[in-house]
Amino acid sequence: MSLARASNDNGDGRMFGAAHAHMHAHTHAAVDAAARLIRSRAPIVPDVAIILGTGLGALGAAINVSHTIPYEEIPGFPLSTVESHHGRLLFGTLGGKHVVAMQGRFHRYEGYSLQQVTFPVRVMQALGAHTLVVSNACGGMHPAWAPGDIMVIADHINLLGDSPLIGANDERFGPRFPDLSACYDASLRALAHDVAVAQHVTLREGTYVAVQGPNLETRAEYRMLRLLGADVVGMSTVPEVIVAVHGGMRVLGLSIITDQCLPDALVPATLAHILAVAAKAEPVLTTLVTGVLEKLPA
């Protein structure tokens, strides 16, 4: 990647392992507690949940915000530890739809379990959201694509070495063995392409691979990931998508390519450069997401 696939460690020494994962497994009681607090502060039933990736928090400025809730005030929510992630839930309207947006997300490399990383997805679904729009900044490995390009995710490869669904399964959330053969909704992808054509925007389509991070990849690793069939690489998105699909949500994934990861022409990546590319591409992402939401059935 992209450093933008990431955040900083919160330094509280959280440990991993089966016992830790079990401690943070999603429970209806925990989800309900968070949802009750949120409803008391923002009595809105969202149609769409949006996760804003690294450097993409300003997309929230396009939302007509009616309520804002900091993560630290929501029971069970982790805290975002990256300087480019604001760490709050935004409620309002975008493209004529009621939305809830995470302005700041969480990552495995921060020390969180994947259950913690994905807890907000359960909560946003409990609030009423039936569609998830997830964005990220990523490193581009497709030789014909350039920094600043936007890719709609058609499929993913999970190399995080973990799943947010490990542990006891509550059938009220979803099935024990959810099918991921079409986790990125085909009709939403087609809609995104239609909007891109109408807006004269180039929209790529390809496969996202999630790695643990926080280090960026070696030249040999980029070669391996490309051979595996990935077009872009990042450190997020896949856990949230797995949980959303497990719960029956439709998913649209959009990636901003912030740096080229071509092993034979590799240059060191800096966070400043990545954030600058993301900021330049963000207006296009904003109009694209807005256009898709406008065309979604009420």
Residue 2: is its pLDDT beyond 70?
Answer: no
Superfamily covering domain 3-295 = Nucleoside phosphorylase domain (3.40.50.1580)
Rounded CA gap, 146 and 155, in Å?
20
Whether residue 214 has a cis bond before it, omega within 30° of 0: yes
SS (H, E, C) 38-89: HHHHCCCCCCEEEEECCCCHHHHHHCEEEEEEEHHHCCCCCCCCCCCCCCEE
Rounded to a whole number of angstroms, the CA Rg of the chain reads 18
Bigger pLDDT: 10 or 100? 100
Bigger pLDDT: 37 or 82? 37
**Under the phi-then-psi rule, with left for phi > 0, alpha for psi from -120 to 50, and beta for the rest, what region is 76?**
left
Mean pLDDT of all residues belonging to the chain: 89
Q: Where are the domains of the chain?
A: 3-295
Residue 141: is its pLDDT beyond 80?
Answer: yes
69-73, 80-84, 192-196 — which is least confidently predicted?
80-84
- pLDDT, one tens digit per residue, over 95-121 is 999 999 999 899 999 999 999 999 999
Bigger pLDDT: 20 or 73? 73
Question: What would the mean pLDDT of 42-51 be, rounded to a whole number?
Answer: 96
Entry pTM:
0.90
